[in-house]
Structures are given as C-alpha cells and as structure tokens.
Amino acid sequence: MSLTYDDVVAKYEPVLGLEVHVELNTNSKMFCGCSTIFGAEPNTQTCPVCLALPGALPTVNEKAIESTIKIGLALNCSIAPFSRFARKNYFYPDMPKNFQISQYDEPICVDGYVDVEIQTDEGPKQFRVEVERVHMEEDTGKSLHVGGATGRIHGADYSLLDYNRAGIPLVEIVTKIVPGTGKYAPEVAKAYVSELRDILRGLGVSDVKMEQGSLRCDANVSLRLIGSDVLGTRSETKNVNSLRSVERAVRGEMIRHAELLNKGERVVQETRHFQEDTGLTRSGRSKEQAEDYRYFPEPDLVPVAPDAAWVEELRAGIPERPSLHRKRLQEAWNVPAKEMEAMINADVLGIVEATVALGADPTKARSWWLGEISRLANERDTAIADLAITPTDVAAIVALVEKGELTDKLARQVVEGVIAGEGTPAEVVSKRGIKVVNDDGALLAAIEKVCAEQAETAEKVRNGHLPAAGALIGAVMKETKGQADAARVRELLLGHLGQA
C-alpha cells in the first residue's frame, strides 16, 4: 500500500453517513405477541403472524412506538403527528411475507441531531451529527447456509431458516451526510455510535450489544477533492460489530477510495462487508442498479398518530444525556478521562455511581468494580451485571476496609464469597471466620519463625537492604493465612530487624 492516511486527508475531504439499526428490548415482537428472548431454540418463538401464514394480520406493538418516540426525543427530533408503515417488497427465504413492514416517506421522527466531542490536535472539539430520520421496522428471520465456501446462499448445500428473529422490532436511525470532519471522520463516526449507544442505553430501550447484533452500524463513506462541491460515489460498509471497527472501517474505506481515485479508477456504489481480522472490507451486493422495493403504504395497519400530550409526557421522562451526565460525574469524582473511559467500556459506570451513592469512596468503588470484580467476571465468562454482587455489597466492603476490619486482601476473599452466593459481606465474614490479625504478639511470633527459616534474607535486611523485606513480609502473610495487615507486618518486621 502506497498511500498513508495523511496523504488521503491532504487531498480529499471525507463525507460520512451512518445508518444504525437498533433492536428494541420489548418483550414481544413488533407486530405479534411472540417473545423476543435471544438465543431460544430455532422456530420456537413464532406464530401465524410472524410466520406469515395465509390470513394472518399484523398489529402494532405500542411499546415499540413508545420506545421509538423516546429515541426520537433523545436525538432532538420532531415527532410526526401522523406517520405510516409501508411495505418494502423483495423476495428472500428468511423474510416470511416477502415484504418487510418498514416506514418509507412518512417516518415517525425526523430532523434531529447528536453533538459529539472528540480529541483533536487542538484539544477537544465538538461536531454536530444531524439525524435525518428515525423509523420503525421489523427484523427478518435468520438463514444459516450450510456447506459451500462462503457461508452465503450461493454455493450452499442447503440452508436452515430460523424465524425467531422475524418480527423483532428494529429502529433505524439515519444521519444526514456529515461533512467537515476532515481527518477526524473515523473518530467522529466512532464517537457518534458511542454516544448513540449511551443514549439508547440510558433510555433503557435496547440492549445495544454490538457483538450480539442488537446495535448494527452501516458506515457510508465517500470522498471529494478538497475545495470541490461534487460528492463522490459512496460505499456502504456493513458488519461493523464494535466501536473500534466503526473507526477502522471508515479509515479503511477512505484509504481504499483514495487509492482508486488516485489511480483514476471509479468507486463502485456497493455494499461492503467489514472483515474484523484484516480491518479491510470485501465487496458485497452492488447498488449500481437501484433495487426497486415497490414501497407502498401498509394497508393492514392504520397510521400512527401519537397524541401530542403523550409525546410531551414522554419528553419529560427523557433522562439527562449520558455524555453530560458523565462530565458531571468526572468532575465530581475527580477522575482522569482515561479512567472514565475504562469504566464506560467495562459497562460499570452505572454500578460505580450506585456504589458511590451508597457512601463508598469513588476511587475505591471504581477500583473494586473495574479491578477485582471485572477479573472475576472474566474468569467466570459472565457479565458483571450478572454476578451476585451488588453496589450495596461493595459499599459495605469498602466501609469494612475503611474501619480496618478487613485488609484489601481479606476484602477480596469477601468479594469472592459474595459472588459465590455465600451471602452479604457481613455473612461471608462471619461464615468464613475472616478477621484481621491485630495481635502483635502473634505477628511477632510469625516474624521470628520466618526470620529463622530465612536467616540469610533476614540478615540482608538487617544490613540495610530493605527491598529484601518483601519476601519476608510475604512469608509472614502466608503464615498468618492472609489475615494480617501487611502494613503492620512490615512495621513490626523492620523493628524486629533493627531497621525501624
């Protein structure tokens, strides 16, 4: 590859556009009463409606409409007093009706924006990403193509169809083109999706798990020569399954486009699939020939006309924007930006906040959740939220440590006990008989024993080589089964060896 990213942005101005699909977390599907639980046995969450049996009719899930309106409001959109569903017609085996109920020219939310902040060479800078529309639609079923090299329908030996996903409520959020980002296009794209994810999580309308597909991003990228008004041909990159991938995909596409354009070649208007391993995209469906979906208003559903008073009621319930909320927390807790980001990435910010609200010191709360508890979650291959430990437990543990009733090391045992389901921290402490050894006599006895066993090391310390004390302290801690306060052990040991 000859072109560097700097070469690209010296010559071209990237034009971004982002389409995000969000699976709503409603209990039932968009147009029927079937359950939406992820990962059930194939075809167990279906009914005449989502299987498109002859005669079956859709009815609208009111909760999905409510969630969509909330999203629109949180993205500063206008809520249309009248909107309609439309049929998007095309044949595919995993689409039961062979049309998708979506919204076309009359979406429910229009004209919003999201402000995102990124770090630039000149410091933090804000970009406004304008939202063109937010609309509702239903998901398709899932095809599993078995055999063949590519895992695609062509060349497969056979295909399996699972209609559990058919009819899951989806919301599509489409931005207007985002010009003026310059070399920061990849960062802006990532920041937008990240901000969006936080907003949606804050609203409680979706799981927003990119890796499970409950939030999917398509990144549209084109380049134009700096100073030119002529928009370039865009590519649409799908399969972007993480925030990092959003950034990589945009950057990769910018370079790919620039290489083509520099060679005098043409960018093909097409769908491209992002490859997580290489960070490159591979060619998908061509969009040169615009597909004709024969949209028309869905005659089986009456128009959606939300009551203005209801919309206002929903507006009043929209929470503070997560990014503003975070800024407030960061200042209050006096945490470095990097640490904030770590908490967000580990999805513990809310839990830390709850722990702090229960009286725990912010730094301590953060280090428990981000450190030991995250590690244990990883070890068990579960989400932190699924562990049997609550902010109340952690706040109690922090308090016990502060009171000197637990050492950090003992506290870790308590955490483990709580997660193992042994009860509250107090219960674990009492059941396991955990207590700090405060008896200097017992500690000194242990110190003497250790110094006798490791006479050579003890001698080094006695001669002023303090780093050697670590090994002795460790041995004493072991001797006292970790129930001693390491600081006190150090103090007594150094006294014992004449180094106090």
Residues at the contact surface with another protein, assessed by CB under 8 A = 48, 51-60, 87, 89, 91, 93, 96-99, 153-154, 159, 161, 290, 292, 294-296, 299-302
Contact 306, 81 (CB under 8 A): yes
| For another protein, the closer CB: 165 or 183 | 165
Instruction: Quote the tokens at residue 302.
Output: 């009456």
To the nearest whole angstrom, how small is the minimum distance from the Cβ of residue 137 to another protein? 16
> Which of 397, 324, 331, 386 has its CA nearest to residue 358?
397
Shortest spacing between CB 237 and another protein, in angstroms: 25
Give me the least distance between CB of 423 and another protein, in Å please: 47
Q: Which is nearer to another protein, 87 or 412 (CB)?
A: 87
With b for 16 or more beta-carbon neighbours within 10 A and e for fewer, the 128-145 pattern comes to ebebbbbbbbbbbbebeb
CB of 297 to another protein, least distance (A): 9
Up-side HSE of residue 259: CA atoms within 13 Å toward CB?
11
Which residues make Cβ contacts (< 8 Å) with residue 130, sequence separation at least 6? Answer: 111, 112, 113, 175, 176, 178
Residues 6+ apart with CB under 8 A from 294: 87, 89
Q: How far is the CB of 149 from another protein (least distance, A)?
A: 16
Beta-carbon contacts of residue 253 (< 8 Å; ≥ 6 apart): 219, 221, 235, 237, 272, 281
| Residue 68: CB minimum distance to another protein, A | 17
Q: Which is nearer to another protein, 89 or 233 (by Cβ)?
A: 89
Rg over CA atoms, the chain = 29
Shortest reach from residue 268's CB to another protein, in Å = 21
* Helix (H) / strand (E) containing 217: strand 215-225
Q: How far is the CB of 71 from another protein (least distance, A)?
A: 22
Under DSSP, the state recorded for 52 is: T
Nearer to another protein, 159 or 363 (CB): 159
Judged by CB, which is closer to another protein: 142, or 409?
142
Amino acid at 53: L
Indicate the residue among 60 and 346 with the shorter CB distance to another protein. Answer: 60
Q: How far is CA 294 from CA 87, 151, 310, in A?
A: 8, 29, 33
**Which residue's structure tokens are 């595919």?**
92
Kindly tell me which of 50 and 458 has the beta carbon lying closer to another protein: 50
If the CB atoms of residues 29 and 87 are measured against another protein, the closer one turns out to be 87
